[in-house]
Chains A and B, each alone.
Chain A
Amino acid sequence: AQTVTQSQPEMSVQEAETVTLSCTYDTSENNYYLFWYKQPPSRQMILVIRQEAYKQQNATENRFSVNFQKAAKSFSLKISDSQLGDTAMYFCAFMKRGSYIPTFGRGTSLIVHP
Chain B
Amino acid sequence: SQTIHQWPATLVQPVGSPLSLECTVEGTSNPNLYWYRQAAGRGLQLLFYSVGIGQISSEVPQNLSASRPQDRQFILSSKKLLLSDSGFYLCAWRGDRDEETQYFGPGTRLLVL
Using CB atoms and an 8 Å cutoff, list the residues of chain A in contact with chain B: 33, 35, 37, 42-47, 50, 52, 91, 95, 97, 99-102, 104-107
Contacts and interface: CB of A to CB of B under 8 A. Distances in A.
B49 A43 contact: no
Nearest to A37: B104
Given A100-B32, A100-B49, A47 B103 contact: yes
A106 B42 contact: yes
Given A43-B107, A44-B106, A101 B49 contact: yes
Contacts, number: 46
Contacts of A99: 100
- Please report whether the interface of chain A is mostly helix, strand, loop or mixed according to DSSP: loop
The 6 A-B pairs with the shortest beta carbon distances in the complex, nearest first, are A45-B104, A106-B43, A33-B100, A95-B100, A44-B106, A104-B44
Contact of B90 (A45, A100, A102): A45
Most B CB within 10 A of own CB, among A43, A45, A50, A97? A45
A45 B32 CA distance: 17
Given A43-B107, A45-B90, A100-B49, A107 B43 contact: yes
Given A33-B101, A104-B43, A106-B43, A44 B49 contact: no
A40 B13 CA distance: 25
A35 B104 contact: no
Nearest to B4: A44
Nearest to B88: A43
Nearest to B45: A104
A16 to B, nearest CB: 28
Contacts of A106: 42-43
Nearest to B57: A100
B6 to A, nearest CB: 9
Interface in B6-50: 32, 38, 42-44, 46, 49
Contacts of B94: 100
Contacts of B100: 33, 95, 97, 99, 102
Contacts of A104: 43-44
A18 B101 CA distance: 26
